[in-house]
Structure 1
Amino acid sequence: MKGNKNDCVTLAQNHLSNMVYYQKFLDNAAADMEDIRHRLESVPVAVSHYGIDGTKGSGGDGMIGVEAEAERRILLMSQLVSLEKSTTETASLLGKLEAAIMLLPKLEKDVVETVYKNGIRIEKAKDIHHMSERTCRRVCRQAVCKIAVTLYGAAAAREIFFARAVE
């Protein structure tokens, strides 16, 4: 299992590494969704003035405008739905990561928050927590394994057990 880039521990570590970016995405997504909603309000809901026989109205150019407005509304609605889905998924993942971190023992929690939430490299985190670099890496690795088990359950536990048995 060692070296496999798709294992649960690696996924958990990648998610932890991206926590800052996930939070920035959520912060920006609210403004982006508001902007899309504002643009949606500015696109008129086009109603054709044509009857079934096409005789009512002011000519053929009206339908082109109606279709363009309808396509624009569809595009904006699609963007809004996609952004809302991404926001929901990201918020859910971030919440799970936060909850998993809160379950850690104090030392592991402190090291993980220093390294992943605050973006401080292990080389500096060791000084903050008054430990050797090797110990800091070990504590961080143990915490990531526990977070992986919290996020992915039995699949992660199997990988961790078998990876340790092989080492």
Structure 2
Amino acid sequence: MSVDPIATIEYEALILGRHLSGLPGRSRRRGGLIDQSAYTLLAVLHEGGPASIAELGAVTGLDASTLNRQTAALLRDGYAERIADPDGGMARKFRPTAEGDHVLAEEREASKAALAAVITDWSPHDRGTFADLLERFNKAIEARLQREWPRTP
């Protein structure tokens, strides 16, 4: 009897989410420089540029009240600032401050080091294949949800 690939993907995705949240070096956000919501929003702003609450909601799928609380925390902690829309629109936008960019860079480096340690014995080919398939998987989800996350080329 063959294993159902969809059942395997579903279960392995669940496990992956739990592993990533507790991986030493990546879990710094739970008591480190920034929490998960700040990490996510700073990454979106870094990759996609200044964004309004509505634009952040279109990417993350979070509602305005949640995003208002999360962006208020970014402002309070000095990790983001409000700016006029560079394109002349009415809505004010958020962008990372120099401090926000700094803590995001530190967190991303710690996260990448933790992930690299897990796959240290993988071949470069296997690392590339996994990265390509994971990106393809995420983009397929985004297409289905009509919610594209920003990525730098």
Q: Same fold (TM over 0.5)?
A: no
Q: Which structure is higher in RCO with an 8 Å CA cutoff and minimum separation 6? A: 1
TM-score (norm 2): 0.26
Larger relative helix fraction: 1
TM-score (norm 1): 0.24
Larger relative strand fraction: 2
